[in-house]
Homo-oligomer: A and B are copies of this chain.
Amino acid sequence: MRFYSFTLFSKVFVVQDLRQVSVVGLGLLGGSIALSVLRSFTGVKVVGYSHRGVTRRKARELGVATEVADDLGGSVSEADLVILATPIRTFEGVFERIAGALRDGCIVTDVGSTKVLAHRWAAAKLPKSVRYVGSHPIAGSEQRGVEYARDDLFERAMCILTATKRTDAGAARRLGEFWSQLGCFVKSMTPREHDRVFANVSHLPHITAAALINANDGDDLKFAGKGFIDTSRVASGPANIWADVLMTNSENAVRGIDRIMSELSKIRRAIESKNGRQIEGLLEKARDKRRRLIDYKIEKRELIQ
């Protein structure tokens, strides 16, 4: 019932407002957005752009978009919604280069994993006549490149919308409907809150996974079991993208590392002083907290048991 009324609502949005979506950057994420829009919306034109000729050629061969444009300005000039899916460090330059080509009222967003700088750059570089809202769909894989793009990447994924007092409320609402239509659970927060939370729950796992691997000798790793392999999985993600993320959210990342080190020190002290009850207490605390996390995810149907 809920799904039905929701679909009706989306169709209204589609028909009235959304004729063209432009995706700048055609990697795994950009390609998957393009494919997902083609699958989830009827009659919407998807224009893709990549600065690399080889990617444009692959994207055309794979048919990830209605059209793949050869120039950036041309790719966005007719768009109702422009989505940046390039590395975060390029956002400032891309905003600057597309500023003159955008239609009045156009919604601009990006899918970067940090949001404070994206908002700052958008405010500085985009004209007042367009409406910027940040997006962070929590989806991806260790794979890279348009050849791994999938039209179901966003199904049951969380998507965080970021908005400030200056953000157009109508644009935020419509962008939320867009991501819902692609299968996302949409939540909103400020860019500052977003960057604090995701430094903790997303950047820190990556940092600890990398540290865990780097702390180990290659020969010892031959004895690694399933536990090690799972604990370190995220460290197989693209290093340049993650360097970008950490560079653009450095203060929160450093604070997170300090908290991890403080927790490691607690465990270290308990082990060194052979305080079995204290060790067990710290492990039990983690275990309980993780159980609550898993229960919450199952209740929210973000995890299927």
Which residue of B187, B223, B247, B287 contacts A198 across the interface (Cβ within 8 Å)? B223
Q: How far is the CB of A29 from chain B (nearest CB, A)?
A: 14
Q: Which residues of chain B have C-beta atoms less than 8 A from A222's C-beta? A: 293, 296
A234 CA to B120 CA, complexed, in Å: 39
Which residue of B187, B237, B259 contacts A215 across the interface (Cβ within 8 Å)? B259
A239 CA to B211 CA, complexed, in Å: 23
Which residue of B201, B256, B257, B258 contacts A225 across the interface (Cβ within 8 Å)? B201
Q: How many residues of chain A have a CB within 8 Å of chain B?
A: 87
Q: Which 5 A-B pairs rank lowest in CB-CB distance, beginning with the nearest?
A: A210-B286, A243-B280, A211-B263, A239-B283, A205-B231
Q: Is A289 an interface residue (CB 8 A)?
A: yes
Q: Which residues of chain B have C-beta atoms less than 8 A from A197's C-beta? A: 220, 223
Q: Is A213 an interface residue (CB 8 A)?
A: yes
Most chain B beta-carbon contacts within 10 A, residue among A160, A211, A213, A250: A211
Asked if residues A228 and B246 are in contact (CB atoms below 8 Å), the reply is no
A221 CA to B262 CA, complexed, in Å: 18
Q: Which residues of chain B have C-beta atoms less than 8 A from A293's C-beta? A: 213, 218, 221-222, 224, 229
A227-B234, A231-B205, A272-B254 known; A220 and B200 CB under 8 Å? yes
A window 189-212: CB within 8 A of B: 196-198, 200-202, 204-212
Q: Which residues of chain B have C-beta atoms less than 8 A from A292's C-beta? A: 218, 221
Which residue of B160, B246, B285 contacts A279 across the interface (Cβ within 8 Å)? B246
Asked if residues B267 and A257 are in contact (CB atoms below 8 Å), the reply is yes
A264 CA to B210 CA, complexed, in Å: 9
A185 CA to B240 CA, complexed, in Å: 37
Closest B residue to A213 using CB positions:
B286
A224 CA to B201 CA, complexed, in Å: 5
Q: Which residues of chain B have C-beta atoms less than 8 A from A207's C-beta? A: 264, 267
Which residue of B202, B231, B246 contacts A234 across the interface (Cβ within 8 Å)? B231
